[in-house]
Each structure stands twice: as structure tokens, then as C-alpha cells.
Structure 1
């Protein structure tokens, strides 16, 4: 019992250090923690701080200073957050009002990323819902030059996608029509979830001299329906990060990383789509430039049900951040985006 009590108290000390350091950016001493009402003496707190330091959860930046959290300390703090700070009623109302004025998906994404940057005071990222299910309505294959063809894909929701291909073996108009018709037969009303299997079936049953073209056109069809290569992330609030430059030894690599869509997509790929929130801290991040940063990501649904796929949004900031408030804000905006897209899918 006494051991559990000591462990619980040390977690309270760690929580106090994180909370006060986030608020002040100043190392936290035992007297400041004792004044916060833990109900134990400064001497006991100093002993607890020594144990926490030995465990690698806090460190002393210089002699005679208080303690600051390590990335491991922040991780333990986040993992033991009992609850997230809910947004206040006025904040939630402001969020709902601001986002409800969106006129289309581009507008709601732009509004979401700006709002998230404003309420968290960090860099905000919102991924377009490119993984939603698309259903084929019409496929066209047009010759534009010898060996060059244009693939036009129209979905049931009116989206038009185009791809230009160079065929290994040029085909005449009759052969191109045969390729088109063969794929139409096998892939009529196919979706982004079934496109690959219907193309495989079409390839297996195609005439040998057309097989390569069926594969090429079928790959283009699949790419358009699945949105492959079209992932897009909108970023806002880089100035917030610049204002917090004191929290980084060198902020330039962080800013450079935020300009790379590949880096941002990799950040989101680390998130489990079944988790509504994911937090990576310091060295846990998959990119070296973010080794001093924290990333909080949320998942939103891109349709009315699970078949609609998912996309992500989040923030990037220093490890010294208000995690509870930031996580709550990310969750709230993700929930609104899910509701917005569900309504759009029903209309």
C-alpha cells in the first residue's frame, strides 16, 4: 500500500512539473510544487524528484535549477491523463458556428485547419478525405497520339479523373475500344474497394494481345477511384511555431519538414485509424527533424459509415504544450468533420 502511495505521489509530482513548466517555461522546484497543495513537504518532493530523475522522466537543466520534463516524462504524463479538458460551451459554439458556414469540402478543410491553429496556438494539419469510397459511373479510353491514350473516369458523385498513359505496344482505335469495353464489362459500378479485383479478373480473361493495355488502363482506373497519389494536406499556423522557437535548439529543420507532404503523410500513417487520438512525442516521431516536437493526430470518418474510409488531422508543436487542451481540440474538430461529411454523404 505504501509503495503504491509513493508511486501515485510521484506521478502527481511529475504532473505538477509538466503543468507548471508548460505554463511558465521555467524549471520547476520543490517549493513551487509544495505550494500547489500536494500535502507533503518539500523534502519529500525532492526525494520524489530524485526518483523521477533517475527514471529518466525529468532532468535538471543546470545546477541549482528546478526540473523540467524529458520526452519520456511527457509520454508518461500523456498516458496517464485522467481526462481531457473539455472545450467550454462558448468555445464549442464558436467552433460549430464557424465550421457550419462552410460551403463545400474545400471550405470546411480550410476553416478546420485555421480554427485548429487558432485554438491550439500550434501548427495545424488537415488531410483531405481522399480515402472515401468512389463508384465508377463511366470509363472512356481515347487515343491522343500513337501509343498515347487518355483515360477518363467519371464517378457517380460527378468527380472526373484523368490519366495519360504511354502503352508499351501501340493499339489501333478498334483495339482501344475492345480494351475499354472489356473493362466496362468487368468493372461496371466498381468502387475504390473492388477496383483491383475487377481489373485482375478483366486481365485474366482478356485477349493476349490486349492484356498489357488492360493492365495499364485498369491501373489508371484503380488509381483514380482510390485517390492514390492525390493525398493532400493543408497546413496553417507556421507562425505559431516560430513564436515558440525557444522550445527548440534549432527550429529550421522542423519548418523544413512541415513543407514536405511526404513527411506529413508519414506522420499520419503512424496513426491507428481505429484510435480517435494518437500522440507521438520527441524521438517517437518518424522523422529526425521532429525529434524535439510533439504531434497530436485525430481521425475523422470520410463518410456516413465505416465504408467511407478515414482521414487525419492534427497539430505539430513543441513537447512543452498543453496536451489535455490540444487533444481535446483535435478530437472536437475531428468529430465535427465526421458529422459534416456524413451529412454530405446523405444528401
Structure 2
């Protein structure tokens, strides 16, 4: 019984220490000043004396959760302390209805996909006060929505390809002999009917297999060329564009020397996009991933945290499309939750390790869900 009592007391002590850690992280995020035992006693009802809290903070320092920047100062969280705090967030408070309505109102005024992504970056930056980054959907993860092929010269056709994510790609196709307008229209209609909602790899296979009575050599050659276009789009692994906002906000709040490594890292857009993809795909909190300091494995980001989430959904060709709808407020709501879907792009926030994680996670998640629903809405909207 004595051994059980010792174990019980040890568990209670460790549990209390973790409450002390959470309180230190919360206070430091709010004040950005080292936190002492006296201030914790006054601000939090921890049920023990200041001396006990002081002992707990010393133990947390020994365990690597806290660090004391100066001998006479209070303590601040380490990366390990922040990681424990983020992993133990019981719930992330969603944005208020007014905030969600504001997101919908601000982004619904967009005139194009590019405008939507630019607006999303500006809005996320305004909510968090940090750098916001939004990548555009990768063609390799998109599916075919519609293709139109029109003559633009005596020996040139233009293929206008619209994806389910709203992107429009244009490819010129040289031809030795121009098919007739009627034959071209008939064949385009068949391609759209047979290939809609297929990945571009599958669409390429389907185009090559299509045959109609009386097909001409011109159409046969065109089919091979269009299949090649679809294959090149399927091989495009790049999120072609990256939209960023909020760098000036960070510059005004921090010394330029402290931000130089961060700004240098942001110049390497391929590195940032790869990082967002990696962190987002490893997410375990409602689709939101968090990398703290050295977890980014990026030299210029050792003193910042990255919060990111995927948006949009890319499905296997045999899966059911997601269902998105507008709720009673007019805001978009993502109801897919499909385990067979993967993001087509990412949205994220980059800020100091002492960022307000709860607000940032909620904001990134809300913007990502809006973008997911917005792309789905675009995918069923008339192109006229």
C-alpha cells in the first residue's frame, strides 16, 4: 500500500507540474516576459503555495520544458515545452460566428482562383498578425472538369483545360491537317463525357482508348497529342504559385536582424512549399499540423513555428466526391471527412515560437475549410 501511495503521489505531482507548465506557456504567450512563481500564484488557481510552484518550475527546467534566461528572472518555455502544450490542447476554440462570416464575406468577393488565394493570405495574416502563406493547387492532384479545343491558326489548335480546382491551363497543339469543325466538336463532346472527373493520368489513358465510327486520321493524331498534354499535367508536381502576406507585420514587431534568417528562408519558395506539405500531411489535429523551431528542419526557421493545413481534396477515381454545402449563415462548410482524399494545396501561418497557437490553429483551419468548399463550389459552377 505504501508503494501504491508513493506512485499515486508521484502521478499527482507530475500532473500538477504539467498544469504549471501550461500556465507558464499561456502567460508567456500573452506577456512575452519570463514568468515567475509569484505571478503564477496570483494569476492561476493551482491550489499550492508559491514555494511548491517554484519547485515545480525548477523540476520542469531540469526536464527540459522550461529555461531560465537570467539567474534572477522567471522562466520561459523551450521547444519541448511548446510541443507539450500544443499536443495537449484539449480543444481548439473555433472562430466565432462573426469571424467565420467575415471570412466568407471577404473571400466570396473574389473574381478568380488567384484572387481568392491572395485574399486568403491577406486575411489569415490579419487574423494572426503573422506571415501567411497559401499555395495554389497542383495540377498533378487535380481532375478534369472540362476541355475545349479551338483552332487558332491554319495548323494550330488551342486546348483550354479547366480543372476541378478552378485552374485553367492552355496548351497549343500543332496539327498537320486540321479536322473539320463538326468532327472536332463531336470528338470534344465525347472526351468531356468520358473523361470528366478523372485524374489527368486516367484521362490520358481514356483519350487514347476512345474510338468512334468513322474517326479520321486527324482526330487520331489529335487524341495522341491531347493524351500527351494530360500526361504532362499529371507529372506536374509543383504548386505553381505561392501567395504570401504579413511580412511587414512581422518586421514592425521584431528587430530586422532577428528576422533576416526568416526572410532569407521565405525567398526559397520551393523549400517553404515542401515544408508546408510535409507538416500538413503529418497533421493530427483536425487536419492542422504544427512544426516548432528545429522541427521545421529549415535553418532560417529555427526560431519560428509553422502551422499549416491542406485544403481542397484530391480523390481516387473510384471514390465518391466530397459533399460541401452552405450552412444557414451562407458560409461554406466542409463535410467531406474522407479518409481517401488528400489535399491539393496548403495554407499556413509562420510566426514566433511564442505565437498564440490556439488562435492560429483555429484561423488556419477555418481558412483551409473555406478554400476547400470554395474549390468544390467552383468545380460545379457554370463556366459561362
Name the TM tier (shorter chain): 0.7 to 0.9
- C-alpha contact (below 8 Å) 2:239/2:345 kept by paired residues: no
Q: Are 1:114 and 2:125 counterparts? A: no
Q: What is the match of residue 328 of structure 2? A: none
Q: What is the match of residue 222 of structure 1? A: 231
- Name stretches of at least 5 consecutive residues in structure 2 with no aligned partner: 1-7, 209-222, 315-320, 323-335
1:215 shift after superposition: 9.9
1:227 shift after superposition: 4.6
Map 1:1-347; keep pairs closer than 5 Å.
1-36=8-43, 37-130=45-138, 131-135=141-145, 137=147, 152=159, 154-155=161-162, 161-162=169-170, 173=176, 189-190=194-195, 194-196=199-201, 220-225=229-234, 227-245=236-254, 250-270=258-278, 271-272=280-281, 276-302=287-313, 305=322, 309-347=343-381
CA RMSD in angstroms comes to: 3.8
Q: Against the structure 1 CA distance between its residues 9 and 154, is the aligned structure 2 distance closer, same or farther, given a 3 Å change threshold?
A: same
SS in 1 for 2:258: coil
- Name stretches of at least 5 consecutive residues in structure 1 with no aligned partner: 166-170, 204-213
1:89 shift after superposition: 3.1
SS in 2 for 1:66: coil
SS in 2 for 1:35: helix
- C-alpha contact (below 8 Å) 2:147/2:159 kept by paired residues: no
SS in 1 for 2:132: strand
SS in 2 for 1:3: helix
Q: Against the structure 1 CA distance between its residues 18 and 273, is the aligned structure 2 distance closer, same or farther, given a 3 Å change threshold?
A: closer
SS in 1 for 2:10: helix
Listed one character per residue, the Cα deviations across residues 199-246 of structure 1 (whole Å, up to 9, x for unaligned) are 68999xxxxxxxxxx999855432235654452110000012213325
TM-score computed with the length of structure 2 as normaliser: 0.71
- C-alpha contact (below 8 Å) 1:152/1:160 kept by paired residues: no
Q: Tell me the number of residue pairs that the alignment of Structure 1 and Structure 2 aligns.
A: 326
Tell me how far apart the structure 1 counterparts of residues 154 and 234 of structure 2 sit (CA, whole Å): 22
1:144 shift after superposition: 12
- C-alpha contact (below 8 Å) 1:122/1:238 kept by paired residues: yes
- C-alpha contact (below 8 Å) 1:59/1:68 kept by paired residues: yes
1:77 shift after superposition: 0.4
1:309 shift after superposition: 4.9
TM-score computed with the length of structure 1 as normaliser: 0.78
- C-alpha contact (below 8 Å) 1:151/1:163 kept by paired residues: yes
